[in-house]
Structure 1
Amino acid sequence: MTSSDPATFDRAISSPEDASTLEELGYTQELHRGIGGYAAFASGFSFVSILTTVFAFFPLGFSLGGPAFFWTWPIVFVCQFCVCLVFAELSGKFPVAGAIYQWSRRLAGNAVGWFAGWFMLIGYIVSIAALAIAMQTVLPPIWSGFQIVDGDMDPLSVTGAENGIILGSITIVLCTVISAVGVKFMGRITVTGVTIEIVGVVLIIGAMFFTAERGPVAAVADTGGHGSGLGYAGAFLASMLMAAYVMYGFDSAAELSEETRDPRKTAPKAIVNALLVSFVGGGLMIVAALMSAPDLGDDLATGGMAWIIESQLDTWLGKTLLALVAVAMFSATLAIQASASRVMFSMARDNRLPFGTLLSRVNKRTGTPVITGIAVSTLAILVLLVNIGQSSVFAAIASVSVVIVYIAYLMVTVPALLHRLRGTSLSYGPPVMDLGKWGIPVNIVAVVMGGLLVINIGWPRAEIYDVAGAGWYMQYFAVIFVALTLVVGYVAYRVVRHRDGAPDPVDALVGKRPSP
C-alpha cells in the first residue's frame, strides 16, 4: 500500500505525513520507515567511525607531521562542519534517499546531479572494500584462528593480504544480509555497534590518559623533526590527510531519509551531532595517544595506537579494546554499504543507471532495496581482489576514494552557494533548519576549504600514492583515477541522459515554498 491517504495508508510502512512529504518531492513511499533519532545519528557516526579511522590513520598523520599534526584536526573540522551545516539544511528540505545525488540534481540539474551520484557510488564502494579489509589488522591479533591463510599476519605480506580479502569478503556478505533483512533490524545492529564504539572510545581515552607519559602541551607542540616555521608547512599539509580521511560520511544519516521517521527534523540533527561527537571524541583520542606513548619516535609512527595499547596495557585489556575496534569496523562497513545501496537505488529509480528497473525494485516484505545491496557488495568484493599482490595499488585506490567523495560534496556546496548569491535561497520546505544570514559565509567556507582539501588530498605525494616506488604513474594516481572516473562517467551519462523517469529537478523545488 503506497497511498498517503490517512484512511488507507499502512502505518507499518510509514506515517501518512512522511509519505506525503516524499510525494511532494516526486516519489511514492516504498521503503519502510524504521529509523529513529538515535539510529539516524548512529548511521552517520558509524560511517565516520573514529574508533576505526583515527585508530587506523593515526600513524599516517604522525609519520608525516610529527605530534604537531594534531592541529590539522580542528582545521579540517572547520571546513567539514560548514559542509555539514549546508547538508543539514538540505536534509530537512529534501529528505530523499541518495541524498548527495538528489540535492545536487535539484540544485544544479540532472547532469551535475548524475556525476555527484556517480562519484559517491565509486567512493562508497571503494570505502566498503577498504574498511572491510582492515579487519585483517585487528582480528588475527585478537585470535590466531582468524588467520585462515597460513603465514604472516601482516596485511602488507602476501598471506596477510590474501587473508584480508577473505575476512573482508565475509564482513561484506554479513553486512549485505543484515541490510536486506529490514531497516529496523539494521538500525538495531547499527545502534548496538555505535553504543559499543562510544564505550570503546571512552575506555581507550581513559586508559591512555591514565598511563600518560607527558602533558598535553608537550604532546602536541613537537614537529617531530619535520621542520619549523614555514619549513614545516609541507609536512603539516601532508599530515592533514589523516583528519581528511576521517571526517567525512556524516551525510550517511541523510542517505536513509526515506527510511527515517519524521526525517525533516531527525536527519539535520543526526548529521550535525554525528560530526560534533566525532570531532570531540577523535580529538581526545589523538591527544591521549600522544600523551600516553612511551616515546614519540619510530615505533609510534609504525605501530600507532595499537603499539601504545600493547605497550601500556595488560594483554587482556589490549585484546578487549581491539575487539571493540573490530565491532566499530563492522558497524562502519554496514553503514557505508547501506548508504551506497540507497544512492544506487535512488539513481536507478530515476532511470539513470543501466538495469534501472531491476535495481530500483524494493522487496515488498522487508521494504529494502535488496538487489542494489547485492550489486554494491559484489562490486566492493571485486575491488578487494585488487589487493592480491598489489597492496600498494589498493592503498592508492582507497586514498583516491576520499578525493572522489570530497569532489561530490563540492557538487552540492557550490550550486548551493550560487543559489544563495543569486538571492534564490534554499527556501523549499518548512524551515526546520535554516542558516539564514549565516548561509553565505558558511557556504563560502565549505566551498573554499573543501576545494583546497581536494587539492591537498589528491596532491601527487610519493609517500601517499607510491610507497613502493613503482613509478610516476602511481605518484599521479589520484589525478589519473579522477580523470578516468570523469571520462567513464561522461560516457555512461551520454547513454542515460535522455531517459524518462526522474521528476523535474531545478526551479520547481528551489526558491519557493509549497502552498500551505
Structure 2
Amino acid sequence: MSTTTTTPAIDTDYSEDAKHADIKVLHEMGYAQELERRMSRFSNFAISFSIICILSGGINSLAQATSGAGGAAIGLGWPLGVLISGVFALAMAQIGSAYPTAGGLYHWSSILGTRFTGWVTAWFNLLGLVTVLGAINVGTYYFFFGAFGGMLGMEDTITTRISFLAVLTGVQALINHFGIGLTAKLTDFSGYLIFATALVLTAACLAFAPSYEIGRLFTFTNYSGEAGANVWPQVSTGWAFLLGLLLPIYTITGYDASAHTSEETRDAARSVPQGMVMSVVWSGVFGYVMLCAFVLMIPNMDDAAKQGWNVFFWAMDARMPGVLKEILYFAIFISQFLCGLATVTSVSRMMFAFARDGGLPASSLLAKVSPSYRTPVAAIWTGSILAVLFVWGTSLVSIGGTSAYSIVVSCTVIFLFFSFAIPIVLGLFAFGTAKWPKMGPWNMGAPLFKLVAVLSAVAMALIFVLGIQPPNDWALYITVGFLVLAGVVWFVFEQRRFQGPPIGEEIAKRQAAIRAAEQAVGEVG
C-alpha cells in the first residue's frame, strides 16, 4: 500500500512543472484552471479537519452518547463510528486521486456511472451540504448561547437565532469571497487551534476529574427515554448503543471538502486523498482522547444523562474553574466558526462544479469566477443565503409537533453519505474498465479498494437504518420522497437537457473555451 500515513506536511516548493502537471490533469478532464491553486497539502488536510471539527459535533451532539448507552457509547462507540466513516474516506480518497476535480463526488459518479447517477449524487451532496452548513452554524449559536448568553442577557428567540446565524454566515461568506488564500490561512489556523484546544480540554478534564474510573468507558447503561431527558425514545440497550454511533458518524464527516477544493490544491492527485484520510485519522484519535477524558470528568453518569443536550455545560460548570472554562469556551467558539467557514467553501465549490456543467438553475451565474479573487462569488453567497433561509423557514414550521428544522437536519447525514456511497459503489464495478482504467498516484491497490468499497456499502445500509429511527423517523419519508421527486424531474426534464461533465470528443472541443476561461481570470500557467 503506497499511501502516506503521517500528518500532511506543509509543502513550500511548488515548481512550474508541478503546476503545469496539475493543470494538464484538469484540462484532460475538460475543465479550465479558473480557481487559484493556493492550497498546500496541509491546507487541504486542514479544510477537512476544520469541517469535521471535533469541537463542534463532538461537543454539540455529545448527548447522543451520554443519554444513550452511557460511557460505552464513547469508549467503544466512538472508535467504531470513526471506523465506519473511515472506510468511506479511504474509498473516496482512491477515486479522488484518479479524478481530482472540484465537486468531486458529482464528477466521479458521472464518469464511473451515468449522467443520472452524477446528477442525483450532486443533488444529494448539495442539499446535504447546504443543510449541514445551517446545522453547523445553529450548533455554533447554541454553543455561544450556552457559553456566553447568560452574561450577555440573550434570549433564545427565532429573531435572535436567525439574526445571529445571518451575521455569522455572512462573515464566513465574506471571507470566502476574498479568495482561497485568506480562507486557507484561517483553516490552517483552525487545524492548529483544534489540536491545541482539544489537548488543553483533555488535560483540564483529567486534572479536574474526581477519579480515573476507566471502567465507565466500557460500561453499558441504558439511558434512553426519561433517564436521558428523552434525547432518544425508550429503546433497548443495544439500540441505544447503535443510535449513539450517530455521534461519531455525524461528527466525522465533511472530509469531501478535500475533494471539493481539488482544483485549488497543489499536487491534488496526492494531496487530496491524503487530506481526506488523515483528517479522519487525526480527528478520530484526538476526538477519542478528548471525549474519554470528558467522560472521566463527569461527576455522575446518571446525573449527566438527565442533562440531555446540556451535558457539556453542566459538567464544565461542575468541575472546571471559571477563567479556564471561559478561555476554552472562546477557543471552541472560534473553532466552530471556522468549521462553518470551511463548510461555506465546500458548499460553494460543489455548487460551482455542478453549475459549470449546467446542472443548476442560473448555472451561468453560479459558475462564474471572480477575476479579482479567483473564487465563485455567486456560488459562495447563494449557498450561504440558502443555508440561512433553510434554518429560518423550517424553524417556523412544525410537522406532527416536531420542528421541520429538526426533521430536515435528521436527513443531512443520510443525504451526505448517500452522495459518498454512490460513486464508491460505481467505482467498485467500474475499476479496470474503460471508465476507470487505472488508479491515481495515491494507490492502495485494487483488492483493498474493493474491500473498503464493499464495507462502505454495508456501512451505508447501517447509517440509513440508524438515521430513520425515532425521533428521526420522518427522515425515511423525506429520503424516499426526494428519490421519487428526483426520478420524476430527471425523466421528465433533465434527461434531455443535462449533459453532465465532458467526456470523449467533447473534451477536445472545449480546449479553446478552456484557454479563454483561463485568460479571463488571469491564469497564466
Residue among 437, 451, 455 paired with 2:461: 451
Task: Choose from 18, 32, 38 the match for 1:34.
Answer: 38
Partner residue of 2:319 out of 312, 315, 323: 312
> Contact between 1:37 and 1:266, CA under 8 Å: does it hold in 2?
yes
- How far off its partner does 1:95 sit? 0.6
Shift of residue 487 of structure 1? Answer: 3.4
Q: Distance in 1 between matches of 2:378 and 2:506?
A: 31
1:397 shift after superposition: 1.7
After TM superposition, give the deviation of residue 419 of structure 1 in Å: 2.5
Counterpart of 1:76, as a letter, is G
Q: Kindly indicate whether the alpha-carbon contact (under 8 Å) linking 1:138 and 1:323 is maintained by their aligned counterparts in 2.
A: no
Structure 2 residue 182 is the aligned partner of structure 1 residue 185: yes
Distance 1:167 1:51, change over 3 A: same
> What is the CA-CA distance between 1:240 and the residue it aligns to?
1.6
Aligned to 1:133: 138
Q: Share of identical aligned residues, percent?
A: 23
Partner of 1:268: 273
TM-score (normalised: structure 2): 0.84
Q: How far off its partner does 1:388 sit? A: 4.1
CA distance in 1, matches of 2:150, 2:37: 39
The 5 Å alignment of 1:98-497 reads 98-144=103-149, 152-153=155-156, 159=157, 161-215=158-212, 217-225=214-222, 232-300=237-305, 301-302=307-308, 303-385=310-392, 386-388=394-396, 392-420=403-431, 426-428=436-438, 430-459=440-469, 461-462=470-471, 465=472, 476-493=473-490, 494-497=492-495
Per the normalisation by structure 1, the TM-score is 0.86
Structure 2 SS opposite 1:15:
helix
Distance in structure 2 (CA, Å) of the matches to 1:343 and 1:275? 20
The separation in 1 between residues aligned to 2:271 and 2:419, in whole angstroms, is: 23
Q: Alignment partner of 1:64: what SS?
A: coil
| Partner amino acid, structure 1, of 2:63 | P
Which stretch shifts more, 20-29 or 490-499?
490-499
The equivalent residue for 1:67 is: 71
Question: Counterparts of 2:276 and 2:505 in 1: how far apart (Å)?
Answer: 26
Paired amino acid for 1:478: A
Shift of 1:453: 1.5
Alpha-carbon separation, structure 2, partners of 1:480 and 1:382: 22
Secondary structure of 1:65's aligned partner: coil
C-alpha change, 1:255 and 1:151, in structure 2 (3 Å) is closer
| C-alpha separation in 2, matches of 1:24 and 1:351 | 19
Deviation at 1:491, TM superposition (A): 4.2
For 1:146 and 1:134, locate their aligned partners in 2 and report how far apart those are by CA, in whole Å: 19
Over 3 Å counting, the alpha-carbon distance change for 1:151 and 1:106 in structure 2 is same
Return the alpha-carbon distance in structure 1 between the equivalents of residues 436 and 126 of structure 2. 25
Letter in 1 for 2:280: L
Question: Does the Cα contact within 8 Å between 1:351 and 1:496 map onto a contact in 2?
Answer: no
- Is the Cα contact below 8 Å between 2:397 and 2:404 reproduced in 1? no
Deviation at 1:412, TM superposition (A): 1.4
Aligned to 2:9: none
Match of 2:427, as an amino acid? A
Match of 1:498 in 2: 496
| Structure 1 counterpart SS, 2:410 | helix
Residue of structure 1 in register with 2:228 after alignment = none
CA contact (8 A) 1:110 1:505 kept: no
Provide the aligned length of Structure 1 versus Structure 2. Answer: 474
Instruction: Tell me: CA distance 1:140–1:241, structure 2 relative to 1, closer, same or farther (3 Å).
Output: closer
Q: What CA distance in whole angstroms lies between the structure 1 residues aligned with 2:342 and 2:91?
A: 21
- Deviation of residue 26 (structure 1)? 1.2
- Give the whole-Å Cα distance in 2 for the aligned partners of 1:39 and 1:146: 36
- 1:472-494 superposed Cα distances (whole Å, 9 cap, x missing partner): xxxx3101211232233334434
Q: CA deviation at 1:287?
A: 0.8
Contact 1:84 1:250 in 2 (8 A): yes
Greater Cα shift, 191-200 or 430-439: 430-439
Runs of 4+ in structure 1 deviating by more than 6 angstroms, as ranges, are 422-425, 506-509
Distance (whole Å) between structure 1 residues aligned to residue 289 and residue 266 of structure 2: 33
**What secondary structure sits across from 1:33 in the alignment?**
coil
Structure 2: which 5+ residue stretches go unaligned?
A: 1-14, 225-234, 508-525
Q: Indicate the larger mover: 423-432 or 405-414.
A: 423-432
Separation (CA, whole Å) in 1 of partners of 2:281 and 2:213: 21
| Backbone CA RMSD of aligned residues | 2.6
Structure 2: which amino acid aligns with 1:188? K
